[in-house]
């Protein structure tokens, strides 16, 4: 049964942990009714329970975003339950271990890794936007945020499929607002650098963290809640004049020359 309620509604995909979880919690705290999506049952249920324990309203949506019929059902359930969709945060990402270790370079990355990576990271956003826009339009408009990575801007020796899927997500962002902006639809993206999520803390070695830290232009690594704050701003009316943009939130990685960490060698005269 559809609720008659003026409180806004947000769908957050990949909300079982990390950025998605923190975004769902923050949006709930700011008055949104939140649809919590993930394939991680335990994690998603935990996010829903925390929202409800804090007095918020949450709907559990266990769906693989790479499967369009599942996404369509999620949108339909959200609409049937709440009557509207005001914000959509496409945060889900393919993070299965076998995907991560097999996504190397153009020669060696297998087709199934490309398919799963694009299925979740790119097509997951396509399907969700496709089915959410008609609901948003009926309600007078809405805001979409596509969460990605700075890998979509820079090449690396690994994760070719992941990087390509992120670049495609940013192009999608611009196309959505070009075709639907005058219908009240805003769409932006957030390109993140290294975020110290629970998974990152568990998997990254001290040496790797030190290598990242040498290239940061801020004092510390980002936490998931730092990105949640940016996403919450982008879905809100406070950012109503920002659309079609990819906001880089990486602690300055994209801002400097690639030899920044070796500046004492390249430009020793600047060392203080």
Per-residue three-class SS string for the chain: CCCCCCCCEEEECCCCCHHHHHHHHHHHHCCCEEEEEECCHHHHHHHHHHHHHCCCCEEEEECCCCCHHHHHHHHHHHHHHHCCCCEEEECCCCCCHHHHHHCCCCCCCCHHHHHHHHHHHCHHHHHHHHHHHHHHHHCCCEEEEEEEEHHHCCCCCCCHHHHHHHHHHHHHHHHHHHHHHHHCEEEEEEEECCECCHHHHHHCCHHHHHHHHCCCCCCCCECHHHHHHHHHHHHCHHHCCCCCCEEEECCCHHHCCCCHHHHHHHCHHHCC
> Can 212 be counted among the known catalytic residues?
no
Count other Cβ atoms within 10 Å, centred on residue 265. Answer: 9
Catalytic residue among 123, 127, 162, 170: 162
Enumerate the active-site residues. 162
């Amino acid at each position: 049964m559809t609720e008659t309620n003026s409180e806004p509604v947000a769908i957050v995909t990949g909300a079982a942990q990390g950025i998605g979880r923190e975004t769902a919690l923050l949006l709930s705290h700011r008055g949104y009714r939140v649809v919590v999506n993930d394939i991680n049952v335990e994690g998603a249920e935990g996010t829903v329970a925390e929202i409800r324990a804090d007095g918020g309203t949450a709907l559990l949506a266990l769906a693989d975003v790479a499967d369009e019929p599942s996404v369509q059902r999620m949108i339909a359930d959200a609409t049937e339950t709440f009557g509207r969709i005001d914000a959509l945060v496409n945060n889900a990402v393919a993070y299965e271990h076998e995907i991560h270790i097999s996504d190397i370079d153009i020669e060696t990355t297998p087709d199934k890794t490309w398919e799963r990576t694009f299925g979740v990271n790119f097509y997951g956003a396509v399907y969700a936007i496709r089915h959410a826009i008609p609901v948003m339009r009926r309600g007078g408009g809405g805001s979409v945020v596509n969460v990605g990575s700075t890998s979509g801007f820079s090449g690396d020796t690994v994760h070719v499929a992941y990087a390509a899927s992120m670049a495609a997500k940013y192009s999608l962002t611009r196309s959505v607002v070009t075709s639907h902006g005058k219908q009240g639809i805003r769409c932006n993206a957030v390109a993140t650098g290294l975020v110290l999520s629970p998974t990152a803390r568990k998997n990254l070695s001290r040496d790797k963290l030190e290598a990242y830290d040498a290239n940061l232009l801020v004092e510390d690594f980002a936490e998931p809640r730092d990105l949640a704050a940016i996403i919450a701003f982008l879905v809100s009316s406070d950012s109503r004049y920002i659309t079609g943009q990819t906001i880089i939130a990486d602690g300055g990685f994209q801002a400097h020359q690639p030899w920044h960490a070796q500046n004492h060698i390249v430009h020793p005269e600047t060392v203080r």
